[in-house]
Structure 1
Amino acid sequence: MKRIIKTLLFTLFIFVLALPLAACRSEQPAASNAQPEPAKQEQAKKENQKEDKAIPAPKGKNGKVKVALIAEFTTGTHASQYVSGVKKAAAEHGIDLVISDANNDQAKMASYLDTAINQEADGIIIKHGRTETLEPGVKRAIKKGIPVVAFDVELDVDGVTTIDQDDYMLALLGLKQMVQDIDGEGNIVNIFVGGFAPMEKRNRVYEIMLQRYPGIKEIARFGSATANTSLDTQTKMEAILKQYPNKGDIKAVWAPWDEFAKGATRAIKEAGRDEIKVYGIDLSDEDLQMMQEKGSPWKASAAVNPAAVGEKQVELLLQKLAGKKTPRYYSFDPVLVTQDDLPDSPINMDQLQEYVEEWGSDE
């Protein structure tokens, strides 16, 4: 009898527990292929991000959009690839692009900027230059409602977007590789020219690295920006090599501009001083092939794709013209490319991402 009662109580207990479960199950919606709410939200977020990144259709004051590129210089392979990026983006979006090359003449640069403003350009992009040269004209452009996007020049003007390649990180990547390769000691040559915002930033990191590694000694410093910087650098580097003729006198050359690195590399190769290593900043098709040459002293270079910089400048300008919010500063993430990363056969910048994965990442 007791066993029967226990069995009945146990059955009743199970029945009571089952009732809420059945109720919950009946309240649940029928299974379907619909996405869970979090997945829907994530998909909507991605779609919004794509929409935010989309370049708006350009609109000019008088039909076709007129954009002026004011460049301090367009010489050198790195600069020419930057210009190619600007031209490509302009062509894709039907922009009437006018390029003015000041050929390192600050007065010309200021004059070209004034001309662009007076001719009522719809937008202005600037490549390099000096703050004191450009700020008055840029302020006038902004006052007239002409948007400005600048590359590698410091402009303290509200409404201007400034693009850079993160020059501090560029220098840090290259210098770290140099220090590692020479075991933190030895004589080095520093090729440097002041007065350019990116050069000044790179040099600050260089000075800190010298303090950090007292075993490294700078025995020579030279540099200039001319119409043929690479050739001038080569001539001066040849003189330095004659001044320090013995193997071991110089361990490395720090060349924070690819035009410097090209000149130093040629001088070292021709002198047969293959024990000297060169470390640079910036890359181009020509630079890659020089690094790939057998016995090349050019061991590493930190860089950002120059064509991508030009394309981004145009994109940001179009966003400004469309009334979209744009950042005050936009900084690219540089990548270190070493000689060991590269194949034996020559490659170009478009192929680089096949050998350096980071090069192919977005921006």
Structure 2
Amino acid sequence: MKHRLIHALLLVALVLSLAACTAVAPTAPAGEAGGAGQTKTVAVVTPYMANATTKYAIEQFEKYGKAKGWNVTVTDTNADFNLLVSRIEDAVTQKVDAIVLGMGDPAQMTKGLEAAQAAGIPVFGLDAGNGPGVVLNITSDNGQLGRETARYLAEAIGGKGNVVMFTHDPHPGVRARAEAAAAEFANYPEITVIEKKHIEVPGPVDFARSVTQDLLTAYPNDGDIAGIWAGWDEPALGATQAIEAAGRSGIVVVGIDGTDFARAEIAKGGPFIASIAQDFDGMAKQLADIIEAYFNGEKPASDSVQIPGVMVTRE
């Protein structure tokens, strides 16, 4: 009798233990995919961190991402696009939750983007470009930036004269600005674009200064060059420095970005007469919000968001 009672009690204890085990659902360790409280990792890759505006935009995005609790990493390849592809592939291998292209043309990153697509990792552009494998690109309205600065320059030189353009085709935004500016200059029959010069990055200020010095030698007379249009502020600054050092008059310069140093030059009343400000802080914040929504299952309605710029002049 006593043995039967003990046996029955042991059976009851075993049943209760099994019930307790099945009642508790297993949980994934912190940090593993699907685990509660998982920290998202967003990898930013860029070839242009040496550029002041790129650096600012990425630092703002990093700030907004970290405020959302993400682990944000930033990798710069110093204009090396082959290395950029490798860094995208590294991010894929590390199984990050999203990749952000900090400027740069997606067409030069095809292999890396294909790897991200195959792994199901979303890629977003921060003033980069659109293409296969890019969920969304947020940028300025580069057509507007190019048109308005070209129009301002054209009116400043009285609608006639020779113009030089400083471009950088590897950056899709700068390329779009230059195309729009050239189209705007074509609206003025007495304006001739006599040179289009590619500006190297990094080191655009020094490079543009050297290019301008050569241009001033090739076109030595006052009136030979009426204006210089630059696709962003740094080459505009280099051109301004060369013009002032040469003591040339009658040449005006416009840039794009509305940087602090451009505003300071414009205020001086020298050759640098205008720029157009891009809202890089707004881009960074809006992209962080878009990526957060994507993580929550909300896909963007479009693959492109464009933000208008605002002219910065002496007035």
Mark yes or no: TM-score above 0.5: yes
Note if contact 1:147-1:317 (Cα within 8 Å) is conserved in structure 2: no
1:82 aligned partner: 57
d(CA) in 1 for partners of 2:282 and 2:191?
35
d(CA) in 2 for partners of 1:185 and 1:274?
16
Task: Tell me the TM-score normalized by structure 2.
Answer: 0.83
2:228 aligned partner: 253
For residues 245 and 324 of structure 1, do their structure 2 counterparts lie closer, same or farther at Cα, with a shift above 3 Å needed? same
For 1:205, give the aligned amino acid: A
2:90 aligned partner: 115
Structure-to-structure mapping, 1:94-109, within 5 angstroms? 94-109=69-84
Task: Tell me the TM-score normalized by structure 1.
Answer: 0.72
1:197 has 2:200 as partner: no
d(CA) in 2 for partners of 1:159 and 1:238?
40
2:206 aligned partner: 231
Identity of aligned residues (%): 26
For residues 156 and 193 of structure 1, do their structure 2 counterparts lie closer, same or farther at Cα, with a shift above 3 Å needed? closer
Note if contact 1:304-1:334 (Cα within 8 Å) is conserved in structure 2: yes
- The number of equivalent residue pairs is 281
2:14 aligned partner: none
1:267 has 2:242 as partner: yes
Question: Runs of at least 4 residues of structure 1 off by over 3 A?
Answer: 59-62, 152-155
For 1:303, give the aligned amino acid: A
* Residue 158 of structure 1: how far off its partner (Å): 6.1
**279, 293, 296: which one pairs with 1:322?**
296
1:336 has 2:311 as partner: yes
Note if contact 1:60-1:122 (Cα within 8 Å) is conserved in structure 2: no
Note if contact 2:46-2:76 (Cα within 8 Å) is conserved in structure 1: yes
Note if contact 1:274-1:295 (Cα within 8 Å) is conserved in structure 2: no
2:259 aligned partner: 284
Note if contact 2:255-2:276 (Cα within 8 Å) is conserved in structure 1: yes
CA offsets 1:42-65 (integer angstroms, 9 cap, x no match): xxxxxxxxxxxxxxxxx9836222
* Residue 167 of structure 1: how far off its partner (Å): 0.8
For 2:60, give the aligned amino acid: G
d(CA) in 1 for partners of 2:112 and 2:140?
24
* Residue 223 of structure 1: how far off its partner (Å): 2.4
* Residue 103 of structure 1: how far off its partner (Å): 0.8
For 2:299, give the aligned amino acid: K
Per mean C-alpha deviation after superposition, the further-off stretch among 278-287 and 202-211 is 202-211
Q: Secondary structure in 2 aligned to 1:247?
A: coil
1:28 aligned partner: none
1:73 aligned partner: 48
d(CA) in 2 for partners of 1:164 and 1:225?
22
1:301 has 2:301 as partner: no
Structure-to-structure mapping, 1:50-199, within 5 angstroms? 61=33, 63-157=38-132, 160-199=135-174
CA offsets 1:184-234 (integer angstroms, 9 cap, x no match): 101111112323312321222233223321201123332222221111110
Note if contact 1:298-1:339 (Cα within 8 Å) is conserved in structure 2: no
Specify the structure having the higher radius of gyration (Cα).
1
For 1:245, give the aligned amino acid: P
Note if contact 1:171-1:302 (Cα within 8 Å) is conserved in structure 2: no
CA offsets 1:6-40 (integer angstroms, 9 cap, x no match): xxxxxxxxxxxxxxxxxxxxxxxxxxxxxxxxxxx
d(CA) in 2 for partners of 1:155 and 1:114?
19
Structure-to-structure mapping, 1:208-219, within 5 angstroms? 208-219=183-194
For residues 152 and 159 of structure 1, do their structure 2 counterparts lie closer, same or farther at Cα, with a shift above 3 Å needed? closer
